[in-house]
Structure 1
Amino acid sequence: MYNYLIALSRPAKQRILLLIDCLLVVLSMLVALSLRFGRDVSVEQYQAALPLIAIVTLIAVPLFATLRINRIKLSDFEVQDITRGAVAAVSLTIIAMVLGNVLTLQGPSSVPLIFGPIFLMVHIMARLMARACLLYLSGRDNSRIPVAIFGAGTIGVQLLASLRRNYDMRPVIFIDDNPTLHNMTVSGLPVASRQKLKTMVERKKVERVILAISSESDEIRRQYIEELSTLGCEVYTLPSFNELINAKTITDTLRPVTADMLLGRDKVNLETPEVVRSYAGRTVLVTGAGGSVGSELCRQILGCNPHRLVMFDHSEFALYNIDNDLRAHADAQGVELITSLGSVCDRSAVDRVIKESDVDIILHAAAYKHVPLVERNEIVGVWNNVVGTQVVADAAQAAGVERFILVSTDKAVRPTNVMGASKRLAELVVQDLQTRSEKTRFSMVRFGNVLGSSGSVIPLFHKQIMAGGPVTLTHNKINRYFMTISEAARLVLLAGAYSKGGDVFVLDMGKAVNIIDLARRMIELSGLKVRNEHNPDGDIEIKIVGLRPGEKLFEELLIGDNTLPTPHRKILRAQESKLSQIEIARILKDLDIATKANSSSAVRKILEDYVEGYHLQHNTLEQVQ
């Protein structure tokens, strides 16, 4: 009903209001007659008044149009708009009295005097009731985004009035730090504390928070933004005064505050119909489903309406969390959700999951990815990343799975660390399998650092800033490519849609971001200032601690320059060298021997011999730490 009413054209709404006002004229005149004569009023007296009622109603049409009382938006109906109704009531009263005398119509002259106030009253009541109905219906419209307004002051109240006219957002609560306002109602909306907001976000009753506080202090504003961003919902802030006065409404200029603003570029639009078509009605297995990228993959796959989603992870806690997040959504969409504990290095466990769930597509995101940890634990890291990939890929081929997509990294390109080299070996294993695959299409996706993922610099910098600093940086010239988690997951899904077999997909992420610039932006976003020789009174120091073992100043996405286009202009298909089946078999055999012998040097020697660009580093444990 609400969507139908707001979808009516403006002329249609104006005609409806004009018709209602004309009916109110007739109703008011009849009520005036009843009040004048009381119980003694007769049918004849009503009939005698019909000419006056008809003439006054006809005259009311152009009068209402002139006063434009039918052009007032119900959602905007306020005290100043009552003035127009009062002018219309007085005008109709005078017109009725004049007509009664000029036309010598029957009936007492006091009827028009009673009619005027009655019309004004029902005119106001009708609009207030219609406005209340619209607000009630809008509150029941579940298609609108539920919004919390942070700040129950003047700015918040003005924002609420604007949001009530917005068809995309539905205000549900005020949040304010002033305890005297808690449990009160402001402009029809309850006021609560931040703890209440956290609960509502967790229960999906609030999906967006809009900061509506005074712009007197940018530092306080940035602090609020940083704290609200940790809740797991969208955070928007009101614009500057100049933006505000040039906009049609407040909501026209609301700006989100998320980690995306740290990208240094616009997000790449990866919303294409191929994604939904490729995964709709299919059974999809995600390994490493509890990780940062894996969990986002699961969320986005649910939006593609698969038949079944299988989440595989070795971490019970991580698997519990993603299952808890998605279970209700999956049930609502009719998607079967399966959680399976196990290691990607366990062939029997992988075979069982693929067979029992009749998997069509595998997205292999399981990996050890933290560079310093893998550098110190090279045997386990390489075994998990290489053999784990080989086990899952072999199982996919044996079961006749349609598509297998490996999630890789830019650190696999001419790597200087064990983690990157292990991911490049995993790519080579997958490329080799494609040469012998009759049914399964194998492909790889290679991307840069994911903003906000576990182990990335964003959470580390945030933790250091909250602790008062310093923010530690390995080198002042270090650059990295960054992408959002949603971009990373979407790129993986698109790779599955575009896969022809043996592909290496990369995303054009623009220019690399200088990490020291990123650190400065994060400090400023937190409402603080960088402390350095130019600003000794600043809040947070940026400290250079030196490159870690295996760390490069610059990351690359391609080993060579030979790329091919895809249906998406921002996604490239790389053509890179492969190893033979005999070489891959030798690598896996040597890796098995080195692992059983617990020989770190032998594992590193394998990487040096077969991974282009990797050089053996003789690091002691103390140096690595």
Structure 2
Amino acid sequence: MFWTSIDRLLDHLRPRRQLAVMLADALLILLAWHTTYLFRMGVERWLYERPAYDWAVVLGVIAVYSAVSWALGVPRASWRYVGFHDITRLAWVCLGAGLASAVVVLMAQLVEVPRAVLALHPVLTLINLALARMTVRMLSESSRARRTGAHTNGQRALVLGAGAAGKLLIAGIQHRGWTVVGLLDDDPRKQGARIAGVPVLGGLDLLTDARNLEDATHLVLAMPSASVEQRKRVLALASATGLPVVTVPSADELREGRSRVDRVRDIEPEDVLGREPVKLDENAVSSLISGRAVFVTGAGGSIGSELCRQIARFGPSRIILFELSEFALYQVEQDLGERFPHLPLVRLVGDVKDLSALRRAMQLHQPDLVFHAAAYKHVPLMEDDNAWMALRNNTLGTYLAAQAAAESGVKRFVLISTDKAVNPTNVMGATKRAAEMVVSHWATKAPGTRYMAVRFGNVLGSSGSVIPKFKEQIAKGGPVTVTHPEITRYFMTIPEAAQLVLQAAALAESGQVFVMDMGQSVKIADLARELIRLSGHTEAEIPIVFSGLRPGEKLYEELLADADTTLPTPHPRLRLAQLRGELPADWMARLMALASDDAAATPSVLRARLHDLVPEYAPR
């Protein structure tokens, strides 16, 4: 009970700490003044044999000490974390204020004030001030030891955010062996309060003072509904502390039932790079998908599987999952079956390079929409030994899927493209640009089907993404490898990409290429540094090593070619690309010849012929 009372007293004083410190120090200075008289004159004389003006002198002394103390920043220091540097500062206060007071008393010829009092008072004041602070620290640490003594894992969390999520988080993580040492919140109405017995220590600016963090081993961000800018600010403050940072799930994760608020997780790149959530025209997307059969190629991939999840929200009559990898098909089928148990699924193992398999699947299941996400997309892997396979899968596979869609009377065909298709410098980008050209060809050849493409940049967490690699390297203790210090990329989350694909599909006319608003490009090295800091490490502990650009890799990506322009669309995050003119009359014949030419299996031959098909392709 005693410790609880002490805790509550300190918590109530904390929002007015500087005023409380000034008043407490004034009382201690006064106590030292009387104690000095006691030593000088003895018990019988110390109170009565003083000059009549002694009260004015002591008030002046207190004022001098207070002014010097304020000038040196003493009231801003927390007594709970007093250290040697704080005692040193107090010593300078007592020395300076004691000398100044003595000089003023002597110059004023106040001879009835004993000289011994002027000499001893600074020493006793220093003792009083230091003892008071050390006593508070001792009480605080004793109370903290009492609170944490039952826990053996040593995880002590300072929670950032004292709202509803913070309350639920405290209840959950304390049962898992965590100790919550306090909360921080910028709302002044919450500061000084207690939530589930845990004090709200103050605002988030307390993170800038290391003394406020000595109790904590982790910081927990508990602001799932905060705006992107608010989260970025808090993460910037948190990462600068050097403590590991974890977070509660985002509002989207909670809303979709993917996690619970008391299940903390590591900071993900989307938390660092956060963007405002996509606002869909849900009526348009629903009218496109609801009650219709949807065919997704590459359905087990990172983009394809998220497309399936987003499509399932709008009530299709069924989803036809077309995937080459048996394991990936099994995973997406299990996930969709758990999330949408009443949604009919057709699970097909198939290859987009197999026209007969595509024809059979589409003619049997009669899809209304096709989302073509099947692609090889890892730039270095596709550059040499696998270049021919990249052409056959990315370009010829698109041709065959588009042909099967036209023959089956599909209403819309959507190609998932990439920013690497703009002024490509690698085989993967060139084959995706050629795939866009294939879509343009079919848009004119099969007017009964609307053909379109959607371009976006790097997707956080997708297969082949640099982010999982960084996290794995950090977990192993480094180093983190980045190809070049100046390399930049555009990033977006997988759900964001999938939602914008659906929005583009609802808006598009045939033959159009949509470009997503990717926001600002991000330096990969800066992203690596941020992930290192948020893991609680420094670059000295986990260094960044620059390995050099890989074959075909650009320093920066583009979303439009130089000669292209864009037009606005009804959705602010989508732009319509106005690409260059019609394909040459023999273009498709040359593509088919290349796809069936065994000589093209030689990477140098394929690159040369691919340049003929895609003139803006400039191999490096």
TM-score strictly above 0.5? yes
C-alpha distance in 1, partners of 2:583/2:509?
20
Pairing of 1:509-528 with structure 2 (within 5 A): 509-528=518-537
Q: How far apart are 1:276 and its partner, in Å?
A: 1.9
- In 2, are the aligned partners of 1:234 and 1:257 still within 8 Å (CA)? no
Q: Which residue of 1 aligns with 2:427?
A: 418
Q: How does 1:178-217 map to 2 (within 5 A)?
A: none
Cα 1:302–1:224, aligned 2, differ >3 Å: closer, same or farther? closer
**1:340 and 2:348 correspond:** yes
Check the 8 A contact 2:170/2:262 in 1, yes or no.
no
State the partner residue of 1:358. Answer: 366
Q: SS in structure 2 opposite 1:435?
A: helix
Aligned match of 1:501: 510
- Structure 2 counterpart of 1:274: 284
Provide the residue aligned with 2:273 in structure 1. Answer: 263
User: What displacement does 1:492 show?
Assistant: 1.0
Matches within 5 A, 1:193-592: 219-222=242-245, 233=258, 257-263=267-273, 265-270=275-280, 272-331=282-341, 334-376=342-384, 377-530=386-539, 538-559=540-561, 560-580=563-583, 582-592=585-595
User: Is 1:477–1:516's contact at 8 Å kept on the other side of the alignment?
Assistant: yes
Q: Is the 8 Å Cα contact of residues 452 and 485 (structure 1) preserved in structure 2?
A: yes
Question: Match for 1:369: what amino acid?
Answer: K
Instruction: Quote the offset at 1:261 in angstroms.
Output: 2.2
Please say if residues 464 and 471 of structure 1, whose CA atoms lie closer than 8 Å, have aligned partners that are also in contact. Answer: yes
Aligned to 2:93: none
Return the letter of the residue paired with 2:571: H
CA drift at 1:612: 3.3
Cα distance in 2 for partners of 1:524, 1:216 equals: 5
Equivalent residue pairs, number: 410
Q: Is contact 2:247–2:265 with CA below 8 Å preserved after alignment?
A: no
Residue type of the partner of 1:374?
Answer: M
Provide the secondary structure at the position in 2 that maps to 1:420: helix
Indicate the SS of the match to 1:339.
strand
* CA shift in 2, pair 1:161/1:297, >3 Å: closer
The CA deviation string for residues 489-536 of structure 1, in whole angstroms up to 9 with x for no partner, is: 011111110111111101122221111111111111211112xxxxxx
| CA deviation profile, 1:298-332 (whole Å, cap 9, x unmatched) | 1101101111111111000111111111113332x
State yes or no: 1:176 paired with 2:172: no
Deviation at 1:360, TM superposition (A): 0.4
How far is 1:579 from its partner? Answer: 4.4
* Secondary structure, counterpart of 2:518 in structure 1: coil
Closer, same or farther in 2 for the Cα pair 1:468/1:314, shift >3 Å? same
CA distance in 2, matches of 1:563, 1:378: 31
Aligned residues of 2:418 and 2:455 also touching (Cα < 8 A)? yes
- Contact preservation (8 Å) 1:482, 1:512: yes
Equivalent position amino acid for 1:386 in 2: T
How far 1:613 moved relative to its partner?
Answer: 2.4
Whichever residue aligns with residue 551 of structure 1, its letter is E
Q: Secondary structure at the match of 1:587?
A: helix
Q: 1:517–1:266: structure 2 CA closer, same or farther, 3 Å change rule?
A: farther
Q: Matches of 1:237 and 1:329 in 2, distance apart?
A: 21
Over 3 Å counting, the alpha-carbon distance change for 1:320 and 1:596 in structure 2 is farther
Contact persistence 2:278–2:499 (CA under 8 A): no
Name the CA distance, whole Å, in 2 between partners of 1:235 and 1:219: 27
How far apart in 2 are the matches of 1:175 and 1:225? 16
Q: Shift of residue 350 of structure 1?
A: 0.7
Task: Report if the CA contact (8 A) 2:489-2:524 is conserved.
Answer: yes
Distance 1:495 1:605, change over 3 A: same
- Matching residue's letter, 1:323: E
Q: Distance in 2 between matches of 1:512 and 1:159?
A: 29
- The alignment's C-alpha RMSD in Å is 3.8
Displacement of 1:585 in angstroms is 1.9
Paired residues of 2:414 and 2:453 also in contact (CA < 8 A): yes
Equivalents in 2 of 1:211, 1:174: separation in Å?
16
Aligned position for 2:86: none
**Deviation of residue 416 (structure 1)?**
0.4
Measure, in 2, the Cα distance between the counterparts of 1:437 and 1:517: 47
3-state SS of paired residue (1:589) = helix
SS at match of 2:367: coil
List alignment gaps of at least 5 residues for structure 2.
1-152, 180-195, 197-219, 223-237
**Separation in structure 2 between the aligned mates of residue 323 and residue 443 of structure 1, nearest angstrom:** 27
The aligned amino acid for 1:591 is L
Q: Percent identity?
A: 45
Q: Give the drift of 1:234.
A: 5.1
TM-superposed CA distance for 1:445, in Å, is 0.3
- 1:81-160 alignment runs, 5 A limit: none
Worse-superposed segment, 345-354 or 440-449: 345-354
Distance 1:547 1:155 in 2: 40
Q: Partner of 1:556: helix, strand, or coil? A: coil
Closer/same/farther in 2, CA of residues 450 and 157 from structure 1, 3 Å limit: closer
Aligned residue identity for 2:287:
R
Aligned CA distance change for structure 1 residues 256 and 401 (closer, same or farther; 3 Å): same
**1:382-423 per-position Cα deviation (integer Å, ceiling 9, x unaligned):** 111111000000000111100000000000000000000000
- Secondary structure at the aligned position of 1:348 is classed as helix
Question: Are the counterparts in 1 of residues 417 and 456 from structure 2 also a CA contact under 8 Å?
Answer: yes
Sort the Cα spacing of 1:561 and 1:422 in 2 relative to 1 into closer, same or farther, 3 A: closer
Map Cα deviations across residues 77-103 of structure 1 (whole Å, 9 max, x no partner): xxxxxxxxxxxxxxxxxxxxxxxxxxx
> Which amino acid is 2:382 matched to?
V
Q: 1:433 to 1:445 in 2, by over 3 A?
A: same
Deviation at 1:163, TM superposition (A): 6.3
- Per-residue displacement from partner, 1:569-617 (whole Å, max 9, x unpaired)? 2210101024436333223233134346633233211211121321244
How far apart, CA to CA, are the structure 2 residues paired with 1:173 and 1:386? 51
Counterpart of 2:550 in 1: which secondary structure?
coil
Q: Deviations over 1:87-133 (max 9, x none)?
A: xxxxxxxxxxxxxxxxxxxxxxxxxxxxxxxxxxxxxxxxxxxxxxx
For residues 610 and 161 of structure 1, do their structure 2 counterparts lie closer, same or farther at Cα, with a shift above 3 Å needed? closer
Aligned pair partner of 2:603 in 600, 611, 615: 600
Amino acid at match of 1:572: R
| 1:293–1:489 contact (8 Å) kept in structure 2 | yes
3-state SS of paired residue (2:445): coil
Distance 1:449-1:286 versus aligned 2 partners, 3 A rule: same
Label 1:162 to 1:543 Cα distance change in 2 as closer, same or farther (>3 A): closer
2:119 aligns with none
Distance in 2 (CA, whole Å) between partners of 1:514 and 1:424 is 25
CA contact (8 A) 1:595 1:603 kept: no
Amino acid across the alignment from 1:394 = Q
SS of equivalent residue, structure 2 residue 481: strand
